[in-house]
């Protein structure tokens, strides 16, 4: 476990650069490239604001469609700490996602205990990777529902 985490720690800078390329391709092709990777759940782009910095950031995340919302899992490959985007969404829950060609304004909320009990098994079945990642750590992964906000009328 320690070796794996050490390797994971060293790989974050490389993963960050790969994510930038992924985001650029996804945006440039309106999701035709980067939304679907064989053997993985579909991917969305989450725009979030840094809780401390106030800077906009974009993260690629696999998602589980659920009752009109998008469920994302704060797995971070089983790393001992939650990913930064979870902390950012706690501070600024109103944000947006890009799903394929569509940009959707959403409100993020962490699953309450009842939702968590219902969604956790569904998420583990949907993505085997999420189940494997959970075995690597003692922390419970945050399950975040990204629910489309109603269009504002003026």
Whether residue 134 contacts residue 78, with contact meaning beta carbons closer than 8 Å, is answered with yes
- Cα–chain-centroid distance for residue 125? 17
pLDDT digits (tens, 9 = 90+) for 30-88: 999 999 988 889 999 999 999 999 999 999 999 999 999 999 998 887 778 889 999 99
Whether residue 50 contacts residue 95, with contact meaning beta carbons closer than 8 Å, is answered with no
Sorted by sequence, the CB contacts under 8 Å of residue 15 that are 6+ apart come out as none
Provide the 3-class DSSP secondary structure of residue 32: coil
Global pTM reads: 0.84
Distance, CA of 57 to CA of 72 (rounded, Å): 16
- All domains of the chain, ordered by start, with CATH? 2-31+42-148 (2.30.110.10)
What is the pLDDT, as a whole number, of residue 12? 62
**Mean pLDDT over all residues of the chain?**
87
């Amino acid at each position: 476990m320690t070796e794996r985490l050490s390797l994971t720690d060293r790989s974050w800078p490389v993963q960050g650069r790969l994510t930038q390329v992924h985001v650029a391709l996804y945006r440039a092709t309106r999701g035709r490239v980067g939304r679907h990777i064989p053997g993985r759940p579909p991917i969305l782009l989450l725009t979030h604001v840094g809780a401390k910095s106030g800077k906009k950031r974009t993260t690629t995340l696999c998602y589980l469609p659920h009752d009109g919302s998008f469920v994302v899992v704060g797995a971070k490959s089983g790393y001992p700490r939650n990913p930064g985007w979870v902390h950012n969404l706690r501070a600024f829950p109103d944000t947006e996602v890009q799903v394929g060609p569509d940009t959707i304004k959403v409100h993020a909320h962490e699953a309450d205990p009842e939702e968590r009990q219902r969604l956790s098994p569904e998420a583990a079945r949907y993505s085997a990777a999420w189940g494997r990642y959970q075995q690597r750590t003692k922390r419970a992964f945050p399950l975040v529902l990204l629910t489309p906000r109603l269009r504002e009328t003026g």
